[in-house]
């Protein structure tokens, strides 16, 4: 486990990359318990709008997520400028997203650590089957076909300074 404070060298932002069900929230909560500020996109969208596909149509998620992302980026930069370490509980599926957050962190005076939580498809399906029965912010229902589509869109971090867990 990484030290969430690293105060001697300034704030660290833990950027978590991984598919739905890979353990990002579990890992982020551990870092939060060690003192990092946890910023969760899914939980913030849920708090503002309810459950994806239940309280609003699935196709509206990108429009509902966009202002949340802007707020989280602002809060992340403010925390770093204030000397606080942060863990971003968000999938960062695309390299362009990861690069943009790295730049945001550096511009705010922090250091980033890219943590890649790689989990094989069979294990993801097992975890998602259990999770699909829940109704909380972190329990987006995912079918095997959806998971396959996620794999097709996910750009695995390679040569980006990532640490694999």
The two structure tokens encoding residue 139: 């329990």
Q: Give CA–CA dist 9/28, Å, rounded.
A: 21
Q: How many domains does the chain divide into?
A: 1
For the segment 29-34, the average pLDDT, to the nearest whole number, is 98
Q: What is the CATH number of the domain that holds 52?
A: 3.40.50.300
Residue 25 lies in a domain: yes
| Domain containing residue 107 | 7-164
Whole-model pTM: value is 0.87
Residue 141 lies in a domain: yes
Q: Give the ranges where 53-156 is alpha helix by DSSP (H).
A: 61-81, 95-107, 121-131, 144-153
Digit-coded pLDDT (tens) for 69-109: 999 999 999 999 999 999 999 999 999 999 999 999 999 99
Asked if 24 contacts 98 with a C-beta cutoff of 8 angstroms, the reply is no
């Amino acid at each position: 486990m990484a030290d969430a404070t690293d105060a001697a060298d300034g704030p660290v932002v833990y950027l978590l990359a991984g598919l739905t069900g890979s353990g990002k929230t579990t890992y982020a909560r551990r870092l939060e318990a060690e003192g990092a500020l946890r910023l969760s996109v899914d939980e913030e969208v849920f708090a503002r709008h309810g459950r994806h596909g239940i309280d609003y149509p699935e196709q509206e998620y990108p429009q509902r997520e966009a202002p949340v992302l802007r707020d989280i980026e602002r809060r992340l930069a403010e925390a770093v400028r204030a000397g606080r370490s942060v863990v971003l509980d968000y999938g960062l599926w695309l390299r362009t997203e990861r690069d943009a957050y790295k730049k945001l962190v550096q511009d705010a005076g922090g250091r980033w650590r890219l943590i890649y939580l790689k989990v094989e498809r069979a294990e993801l399906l097992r975890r998602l089957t259990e999770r699909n029965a829940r109704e909380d912010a972190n329990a987006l229902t995912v079918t095997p076909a959806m998971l396959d589509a996620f794999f097709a869109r996910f750009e695995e971090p390679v040569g980006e300074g990532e640490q694999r867990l």
